[in-house]
Structure 1
Amino acid sequence: MDYKIGGLEPSQLIVIAARPSVGKTGFALNMMLNIARNGYKTSFFSLETTGTSVLKRMLSTITGIELTKIKEIRNLTPDDLTKLTNAMDQIMKLGIDISDKSNITPQDVRAQAMRHSDRQQVIFIDYLQLMDTDAKVDRRVAVEKISRDLKIIANETGAIIVLLSQLNRGVESRQDKRPMLSDMKESGGIEADASLAMLLYRDDYYNRDEDDSITGKSIVECNIAKNKDGETGIIEFEYYKKTQRFFT
């Protein structure tokens, strides 16, 4: 994927869009861990779930311990606990900031972007449609304003902003349910704002017979539908939902 997208560039607005529960949060967290390991300052605004939940997902990804086992705690072995301790140390050393404030605005993102001006920063937001805006306008207009504001913030601060987005239900009515840019919920303007747009699709999301219940493995198609600085096209990932891991 790094080769196809051409690497990260300052001031990019990157969009990751999918239907609910397809795996966009897990995909974003895998991406964030890889970016942080390469020396970038990273932060994650989680509007949908708690910071603790985000941390547990990251621990599952790093250690390979099933997420449900981490949540239950009591079934963890001494070896599991050692792995989790080491993973927590790794996250602390990477300096990843996690915020679960539920009413963040573009100005909160600007403040974060300006806080670490000495390092290239990558800011993840999960997800666009839950963000607040001061504008008292129609929700579609408000979401488009948020998208535009985030693009301006990326341009002015040099931060890379990775914005997760929901897809609307229109995709469900088509025979081929693979998403298109026009399916992004409440935000036609984001097509213009985004430097890079990735649309995620899982066949077993719609066809349960395709689900591998033993390994929890799914095939996720990542459609790079827009890319100003590199190639477009589809990349397939193996997604292990039980451990939140993605592999090409």
Structure 2
Amino acid sequence: MTVDWSPLRTELARYRADGLRLPIWWRDDDATAPTPALHRLLGISEEIGLPVHIAVIPKTATPALAEIAKDRHSMIPVVHGWAHENLAPEGAKKAEFGHPHPDASTKTQAGLARMRQLFGPDLLAMFVPPWNRISAELTAGLAAQGYVALSTFTSRRARRVAGLVQINTHVDPIAWRAGGGLVAPDEVIAKAVVLLQDRRAGRADDTEPLGFLSHHLVHDKAIWDFSRGFLTELLEGGAKPCDFLRQPIDLP
């Protein structure tokens, strides 16, 4: 696969010329157990020097997954809902916590407790709602349960929401609406360039780390190759990797 990285390289060069800071982070969703794909993900993370914040499904997470986190500082577990179950009303977009339901807060609390039991100090108390959707009513109670951060998709509107630091993801290379596979690389790169231009021009929050979202369990070779290439281009272009477990999560 031949990818034209020149538009991204040009924009990153502008960042460097203007002395602008570009923090970046990596989130990968839906882990429950060790798999060859997970080991491949962590291998790439270590090779390029960018930790991966892995959204783990608490209900089905295994102790074997927690053992990996003890030995791999490149893996930062975060809380991915409770069971990754679609509870949206008929006709609505998929969501586990996007609509009020009686036991929602019980599940978010159970998710954090289960993850703390498994991962202990290796856990970052960040809540990642499945399908990136969460109701404001539920968000309002997360900080009191012990969560410190919330992550969904698209640029944040505020640095903090209901006592939580909001750190979203912005670039997803998977063509979900087409049934999977890699989005045309030119399209992903063009979107990333627009995101960077908006930050540089003050149209978006330039303090929010730029987030790359992946799903290791559904990657094919093209997605693996593009993901490695895209993140490498950012890092070689001057972007700074974020590790929210070991550095202040509320970055300036």
TM range (shorter): 0.3 to 0.5
Structure scoring higher RCO (CA < 8 A, sep ≥ 6) equals 1
TM-score (norm 2): 0.32
TM-score (norm 1): 0.33
